[in-house]
Structure 1
């Protein structure tokens, strides 16, 4: 309780510039935590949905029926479901339009799935780069507040004949709060950015592996070696 009161008191006594910097850093921290919580939930759900769909995909269910089932909830598809839907739709269209061009069918289907994967990854990465920005600039913003606060504290002593540590300490403490809050905003942001990026890369790799495996199935079908 005492620490909270001291912090509030130092904040209220700080210069306007330092106060604004502290408020900016606190806003960065709040926004960062909101992004961390939101993106973590989205990535956890995306991974679960990807695993669930691929289990269904490899269960032996007829792919035409699987495609028709996904068509009924077209607007709610994401991840591997979306990639499969787009790829199978393009495959069916190209196979009907150009039945004598198997290579073009496979290339067109693969290209459509890669585009769908890129869009899915872009959605997963939404707002994550902001964490990198907070991690990189917050310490410098805090340092600027510290420098400004210390300069302001020493300028206030210019008219004093004999300065003591007791006179300088409160001003320096006010200034150092900015650096502390800058680190408070930056450290969680950089940790979360690295962890979220790793999870996104893992999902992207899973999507890429699914595309390769699904392309092999389509390749066997279009060359008549297997039937869906």
Structure 2
């Protein structure tokens, strides 16, 4: 339920709020107020509105949402087993720290940069299209050089991660180097490092979904 401010003079905002908040299941989410014109009339300001959420009629309420159906928690670190949530019947996992969805088992073959871009663009995982090669910072978000796996000589990824077929090698990102577009960034999951290579070089591809192009709002539909 969304209630907008009245533009009629004489309508009291306090009275309106009191009526709304007195109704069962109604909670105030955001308030905006009218602007008084010098001539005594109230006129609309473009952005502020009054939004009332009806929790009885199943309007969105984040406290009821399941993991990865809410915006990522940027300020919080999750342990590996809790950080990743299965979607698409286990064909992919959502990272609760970033909101990104990663395929469970990346392809084992190597590509040049253009081949990696095309591979993810045409990839189908869990009966879903819409995958893409991740940006440099997105791919690097999977690196954990402090994990027991990494310090023990294994992959530099979070302990307890659910992924399969991840290799001790370099994976392409979609990000090219500034000023030198014939080179692109890769992430090496053995050293936990970020490096560059010519676009004609070889690298692996780990595809992602639900980034800025898709949004965390669509994750519920992927379950």
Looking at secondary structure, tell me which structure has more strand per residue.
Answer: 2
Q: Determine which structure has more spread, i.e. the larger CA radius of gyration.
A: 1
TM-score by length of 1: 0.23
* Structure with the largest fraction of helix: 1
TM-score (norm 2): 0.24
Greater RCO, 1 or 2 (C-alpha within 8 Å, sep 6+): 1
